[in-house]
Amino acid sequence: MKKKVTKAIFPVAGLGTRFLPATKSVPKEIMTLVDRPLIQYAIDEARAAGITDFIFVTSKGKSALEDYFDRSPELESTLRKSGKDKLLETLKQTYMESGAIAYIRQHKALGLGHAVWCARRLVGDEPFAVILPDDVIAADKPCLQQMVEGYAETGGCMVAAMEVPYEKASSYGVLDIKDDMGTIVSTKGMVEKPKAEDAPSNLAVIGRYILTPSVMKNLGKIDRGAGGELQLTDAIAMELQENREVYGYRFRGQRYDCGSKAGFLQATVAYGLARDDLRDEFSQFLDEMMALQKAAQ
């Protein structure tokens, strides 16, 4: 019987250098997309998928991230006295129950694989999810929830995957497909950032994973790979070498790379237009901006 996935690792130790100088004092994960920080989108997605144990792999300078999930009695009291019950309910969604959240320090920046490996003692002998908050996915059914439902059928390891142009394959880990079953594909290999002409497919891995405990053991065995870092892709590929299954899951939804400035701006526009309370005023502004831009050309 397959164990349920109830634990998720959130690797949030990165310095966010692409967003300097903002990230000099503000962790990238609490930068705001409309009116919620990136990490809140990741937490909400995990909760929808049945995650109950949240493991954050952090680094020095991330105290603001930890404070975000704490209670704020003074703010609660002010909102309550002001009769702002709706805002009070919104605030409560940011709280994490005592014991539901744990913080692990990654003392050296040795890559995603190393960040995941840092959480090995908290994961134990259970399957676990990995969520990269930089990848924000707009979907009717949250991406990880889709994957958990797929995992219930397949077991093994599962990675979120999406079609990309071949010329962009070098920015991703790419799946070597064994059997394409539509939403789910079985794989025979994974190639990290291949050249366009060498890519085995255009099905790229993005920041959602469901992994077996053996992947954690693999991370303890493998050598550093590309860039002198411990690569999560290498540890997952090791599963295939040992004849265990790795699946790709073609999720339904739109992914935004909020680790890049352009992707963050795209997500801001998309999420802003999706909001009933913002759509009319915001779309009018965008129309006026486009008209001005055309007139200036």
> Is 266 within the bounds of a domain?
no
CA-closest candidate to residue 5, choices 111, 156, 114, 176: 156
> Is 282 within the bounds of a domain?
no
Total domains in the fold of the chain: 1
> Is 177 within the bounds of a domain?
yes
Contact 211, 156 (CB under 8 A): no
- Residue 182 gets the label, from left (phi > 0), alpha (psi -120 to 50) or beta, of left
**What is the span of the domain harbouring residue 118?**
7-259
> Is 248 within the bounds of a domain?
yes
Give the CATH number, domain containing residue 201.
3.90.550.10
> Is 22 within the bounds of a domain?
yes
Digits of tens for pLDDT over the chain (297 positions)? 678 899 999 998 887 788 888 888 888 888 899 989 999 999 999 999 999 999 999 888 777 778 888 787 888 888 888 888 888 888 877 877 767 888 888 888 788 889 999 999 999 889 999 999 999 999 999 999 999 999 999 989 999 999 999 888 888 888 989 999 999 999 998 888 888 888 888 899 999 999 999 999 998 887 666 566 778 888 898 888 888 999 999 999 999 999 999 999 999 999 999 999 999 999 999 999 999 988 887
CA quadruple 171, 116, 160, 176: dihedral sign:
positive
Global pTM exceeds 0.85? yes
Side chain identity, residue 230: L
